[in-house]
Amino acid sequence: MQFDFSRNHFELFGLAPGFALDLAALEQAYRALQSQVHPDKFTHLSQAEQRASMQWSTRVNEAYQALKSPLNRALYLLQLQGIDALAEHDTAMPGDFLMQQIEWREGIQDAREAADVTALQTLEAELASTAQQLRAGLARQLDEQHDYASAAQSVRKLKFMDKLVAEIHDTYEALET
Amino acid sequence: MALLQISEPGMSTAPHQHRLAAGIDLGTTNSLVASVRNGVSVVLNDEDGRALLPSVARYTAAHEPVVGYAAQCTQSTDPHNTVVSVKRFMGRGLADITDAGSFPYHFVDAPGMVQFKTAAGVKSPVEISADILRVLRNRAERSLGGELSGVVITVPAYFDDAQRQATKDAARLAGLNVLRLLNEPTAAAIAYGLDNAAEGIYAVYDLGGGTFDISILRLSQGVFEVLATNGDSALGGDDFDQRVFCWILEKSRLAALNAKDTRLLLTKAREAKEALSEHREVGITAVLSTGETVDLMLTAATFNEITQSLVNKTLAPTRKALRDAGLSVDEIKGVVMVGGSTRMPRIQAAVAEFFKQTPLTNLDPDKVVALGAAIQANVLAGNRTEDDWLLLDVIPLSLGIETMGGLVEKIVPRNTTIPAARGQEFTTYKDGQTAMSIHVLQGERELVSDCRSLAKFELRGIPPMVAGAARIRVTFQVDADGLLSVSAQELKSGVQASVTVKPAYGLVDEDITRMLRDSYTHAKDDMQTRALQEARVDAQRLLDATQTALDENAAQLLTADERDAIEAAMSKLQARLDVSDHRAIKDAAEALNAATHDFAARRMDMSVRQALAGQRLDAI
């Protein structure tokens, strides 16, 4: 057997698959694995060992990234169910959410024009609380109800929220300079 | 009952000789070399007991290059041939240098990287950096009493791929085996963290002679994890000198100066800046070659005023790094100050105000980077150490490729932990399209024209299909040095293309070979002897490593036949160690590497299993 890349990310870290995840255990397993496979441990060894080390270390980093953030974790759990939540043909969003989106976007635009940092912070806090609700919903949809269609919808909403937060950060930057 | 001993994976159980390794801080203004001696990292001084080597090189027609203090002395009298702050030009084209007119050099616009016309001929920044590195190498080898087995060279965290590649090329040219390129703030964090048993989230504010970095790290149980990094690879102490220089011109009503006077006043400006770290005001006097005189008084208040925008330029990246790390200022436990420019009281005050705490200045800002690099070099060379620690670093700038409309599609976002690989699928634009041009870029902006072009290559032989039917997977692999290689594959036909990102800004192999040949004719060294010696050292290292691996795991992981095959390859290499053809040795080493490929993979797999098993036991 060569690289056992068939192991899924949860198995790689010896964790039970699920949206609710013990982040401290994930981090500890990640560090334990990197301590074994990181290229820094192999610089004085043969090229074959260095190559294997880079492949493994890359793989461990990828798995950690996929599980660490709630959005990526949800995407990955859906992928394990054969669902690509961000596939382009599947982006229909409910009307009320789209309306809300437009409002937020206008809010950011207004704050930018008025150079109003406080308004941006208020918006950011509002987005954070909505994202928190979506994540709580995901835990139910994925771990308890196994309602993957709804989970995929929540993931798409979270992705939208992520983009808005990035826009807010860009706006802070623009206002700072 | 005696406990069974289990060795670190890959570490030899047999007592082996200490390998000589060094950490090199190749700075804009000054360079240093350090090494771990008797378990302690120390800076290695020159014969006159000086730690710093000014990063200045002078080229004359008759002599070998002069590097360091001696060259620094002639920078005002021979400005065209005396190159200072060469680091600013690494991996940069003439078009990148917006203020080319303010330097006293004869620039030559060469493809890839700008060059300098000197009395000793045209020199590239890579060659000049190699000359500086050679001096440090000689210093280390004399001081340690033997040949260096490998070095860690530090680079600004915000260096892009072209700048990193140029640094690695310079080291190759100086005959150094680069174990790793290490980010300067990370090196400082290692030195500081290990020394103070620091735990928590720290910021490293690193303002050097020509570069600025800010890194946010989490230090926890021997793991140094970089959470985010940002900076400006063209901002440093030199810019403060430049501001003072412009102020002198304005106040003294001086018009365009010749190169000598420019260098003279830049030196006066630097001295005034340094004096202001101790005094409230300083006099600046000079007599120019034209007979004109300068006689001015610069106060701290005026200095602060004319450099305020530079201070602000360091705070914008600092904010970005914190935001990327998802942290607020109150969550930062300490701020480590690195780089000579952090001696300026104005900088210390600005950092204290921003982070709402007094920055940590209890270490030598000039030396801490080299000390950290030496600690890393010692470990990477395979020497046993008491501390077991792990470094997890990130790439500073996003990597992507050009898509339709001159836009950049990001593939690996900034602050991704390395090593990292990411793939993305693209498709054809036209019916029957059989080739695709892949343009690799680095940077945060959306437009191709605002990002740095790293490489262009073509994937040919795509079977003709309707537009949008081909599936081309582009994979980026970033190694632990932060260097990128890119490959592309059409998934339906299996057509492949790959490139190690080099040609656009790096040197091609022929350049390196030519420069090596040139430098050896100068040094009257024999290239053949050198290559042979290197091949033998590498081969012996490989034999030792393979023997260790066999002793440890052959019984569990190899069939008798597999073991025989590896041992046969070892004997073949062993037998060739005495031949005088370095290529024959390299071929046999290559064959041994290939023979151990599966074995290495199995060993790694076993390490992973053991790590997880240990993990679960810990959890009980």
Residues B472-496, mean pLDDT to the nearest whole number:
85
> Helix, strand, coil proportions of chain B in percent (round to 5)?
40, 25, 35
Of the candidates B361, B363, B331, the one whose C-alpha atom is nearest the C-alpha of residue B348 is B361
Is residue A58 within 8 A of residue B477, CB to CB? The reply is: yes
Report the mean per-residue pLDDT for chain B: 87
pLDDT at residue B2, rounded to an integer: 44
Q: What is the DSSP string of B273-295?
A: HHHTTT-SEEEEEEE-TTS-EEE
Residue B224: its H or E element: strand B223-232
Q: CA torsion B243→B244→B247→B248, rounded to 10°?
A: -140
pLDDT at residue B491, rounded to an integer: 82
Residue indicated by tokens 């174990």: B179
pLDDT at residue B195, rounded to an integer: 85
Euclidean distance between CA atoms B589 and B542, whole angstroms: 7
Most confident of B22-26, B36-40, B251-255: B22-26
Euclidean distance between CA atoms A136 and B275, whole angstroms: 59
In which region does residue B406 sit, left (phi positive, over 0), alpha (psi from -120 to 50) or beta (all else)?
A: left
Is residue B351 within 8 A of residue B206, CB to CB? The reply is: no
pLDDT at B504 over 70: no
Cα angle, residue B183 at apex, residues B182 and B188 outer, rounded to 5° = 100
> Helix, strand, coil proportions of chain A in percent (round to 5)?
75, 0, 25
Say if the Cβ atoms of B9 and A40 lie within 8 Å: no
pLDDT at residue B524, rounded to an integer: 45
Hey, what domains does chain A have and what are their CATH numbers? 9-68 (1.10.287.110), 89-176 (1.20.1280.20)
Q: Which of helix, strand or coil describes residue B387?
A: coil
Q: What is the DSSP string of B75-91?
A: TTTSTTTEEE-GGGGTT
Buried b / exposed e along B469-480 (16+ C-beta atoms within 10 A):
ebbbebebbbbb
Tokens of B71: 């060259």
pLDDT at residue A3, rounded to an integer: 41
Euclidean distance between CA atoms B183 and B281, whole angstroms: 36
Q: Strand order in B200-207's β-sheet?
A: B334-338, B200-207, B212-220, B223-232, B390-392
- Asked if A14 has any chain B CB less than 8 Å from its own CB, the reply is yes
pLDDT at residue B361, rounded to an integer: 87
What count of other Cβ atoms lies within 10 Å of the Cβ of residue B538?
16
Q: Which of helix, strand or coil describes residue B417?
A: strand
pLDDT at residue B392, rounded to an integer: 96
What count of other Cβ atoms lies within 10 Å of the Cβ of residue A93?
13
Could you list the active site residues of B?
Answer: 25, 87, 184, 206
Q: Which of helix, strand or coil describes residue B313?
A: helix
pLDDT band at B535 (very low <50, low <70, confident <90, very high): confident
Tokens of B309: 């925008």
Euclidean distance between CA atoms B15 and B584, whole angstroms: 30
pLDDT at residue B498, rounded to an integer: 61
> Helices (H), strands (E): how many in chain B?
14, 27
Per-residue model confidence as pLDDT tens digits over A158-168: 999 999 998 99
Is residue B389 within 8 A of residue B430, CB to CB? The reply is: no
Most confident of A6-20, B110-124, B239-253, B512-526: B239-253
Chain B residues closer than 8 Å to A41 by CB: 8-10
Question: Which candidate from B180, B418, B545 shows the least CB-CB separation from A46?
Answer: B545
Q: Which residues contact B92 (CB under 8 A, 6 or more apart)?
A: B113, B114, B125, B162, B163
Q: How many CA atoms lie within 13 A of B62 on its CB side?
A: 0
pLDDT at B434 over 90: no
Going by their DSSP bridges, the two strands B390-392 and B223-232 should be labelled as parallel
pLDDT at A91 over 60: yes
Residues A130-146, mean pLDDT to the nearest whole number:
95
Min mean pLDDT across A87-101, B108-122, B323-337 is at A87-101
Q: What is the DSSP string of B536-574?
A: HHHHHHHHHHHHHHHHHHHHHH--HHHHHHHHHHHHHHH
Cα angle, residue B345 at apex, residues A174 and B72 outer, rounded to 5° = 100
Per-residue model confidence as pLDDT tens digits over B390-420: 999 999 999 999 988 888 999 999 999 999 9
Looking at residue B490, its amino acid is E
Say if the Cβ atoms of B614 and A32 lie within 8 Å: yes
Of the candidates B116, B138, B122, the one whose C-alpha atom is nearest the C-alpha of residue B68 is B138
Residues B296-323, mean pLDDT to the nearest whole number:
95
Per-residue model confidence as pLDDT tens digits over A118-127: 999 999 999 9
pLDDT band at B425 (very low <50, low <70, confident <90, very high): confident
Per-residue model confidence as pLDDT tens digits over B256-272: 788 889 889 999 999 99
Hey, what domains does chain B have and what are their CATH numbers? 19-385 (3.30.420.40), 399-500 (2.60.34.10), 526-609 (1.20.1270.10)
pLDDT at residue B606, rounded to an integer: 85
More confident residue, A149 or A44: A149
Residues B135-156, mean pLDDT to the nearest whole number:
95
Euclidean distance between CA atoms B185 and B318, whole angstroms: 13
pLDDT band at B522 (very low <50, low <70, confident <90, very high): very low
Residue B564: φ, ψ to 5°? -60, -45
pLDDT at residue B382, rounded to an integer: 87
Euclidean distance between CA atoms A14 and B476, whole angstroms: 28
Euclidean distance between CA atoms B184 and B224, whole angstroms: 13
Q: What is the DSSP string of B229-276?
A: EEEETT-SHHHHHHHHHHHHHHHTT-----HHHHHHHHHHHHHHHHHT
More confident residue, B274 or A47: B274
Euclidean distance between CA atoms B333 and B342, whole angstroms: 19
Cα angle, residue B343 at apex, residues B338 and B346 outer, rounded to 5° = 115
Q: How far is CA B509 from the centre of its chain?
A: 19
pLDDT at B611 over 90: no
The share of chain B scoring above pLDDT 70, in percent, equals: 91
CA distances from B297 to B239, B244, B248, B262, B593 (A): 20, 11, 10, 19, 67
Tokens of A102: 């437009």
Euclidean distance between CA atoms B495 and B492, whole angstroms: 8
Chain B residues closer than 8 Å to A38 by CB: 390-392, 480
pLDDT at residue B16, rounded to an integer: 52
Most confident of B200-204, B455-459, B475-479: B200-204
- Asked if A4 has any chain B CB less than 8 Å from its own CB, the reply is yes
Going by their DSSP bridges, the two strands B281-287 and B399-403 should be labelled as unpaired
Identify any residues that bridge with B435 across adjacent strands, giving them in sequence order.
B460
Say if the Cβ atoms of A29 and B419 lie within 8 Å: no
- Asked if B601 has any chain A CB less than 8 Å from its own CB, the reply is yes
More confident residue, B389 or B203: B203
pLDDT band at B12 (very low <50, low <70, confident <90, very high): very low
Q: Which residues contact B589 (CB under 8 A, 6 or more apart)?
A: B535, B538, B539, B542, B573
Say if the Cβ atoms of A51 and B605 lie within 8 Å: no
Angle between helices B509-523 and B125-144 (to 10 degrees): 50
- Asked if B607 has any chain A CB less than 8 Å from its own CB, the reply is yes
pLDDT at residue B503, rounded to an integer: 43
The answer for B 445-484 residues in CB contact with A (under 8 A) is 477, 479-480
- Under 8 Å CB pairs connecting chains A and B tally to 140
Most confident of B326-340, B386-400, B438-452, B457-471: B326-340
Say if the Cβ atoms of B480 and A61 lie within 8 Å: no
ipTM of the complex: 0.90
pLDDT at residue B259, rounded to an integer: 84
pLDDT at residue A55, rounded to an integer: 92
pLDDT at residue B116, rounded to an integer: 94
Per-residue model confidence as pLDDT tens digits over B35-67: 999 889 999 999 999 999 999 999 998 888 999
Tokens of A77: 């759990």
pLDDT band at B487 (very low <50, low <70, confident <90, very high): confident
Q: How far is CA B265 from the centre of its chain?
A: 31
Per-residue model confidence as pLDDT tens digits over B102-127: 788 999 988 778 999 999 999 999 99
pTM: 0.87
pLDDT band at B519 (very low <50, low <70, confident <90, very high): low
Cα angle, residue B290 at apex, residues B285 and B296 outer, rounded to 5° = 20
Residues B303-327, mean pLDDT to the nearest whole number:
95
The answer for A 21-40 residues in CB contact with B (under 8 A) is 25, 28-29, 31-40
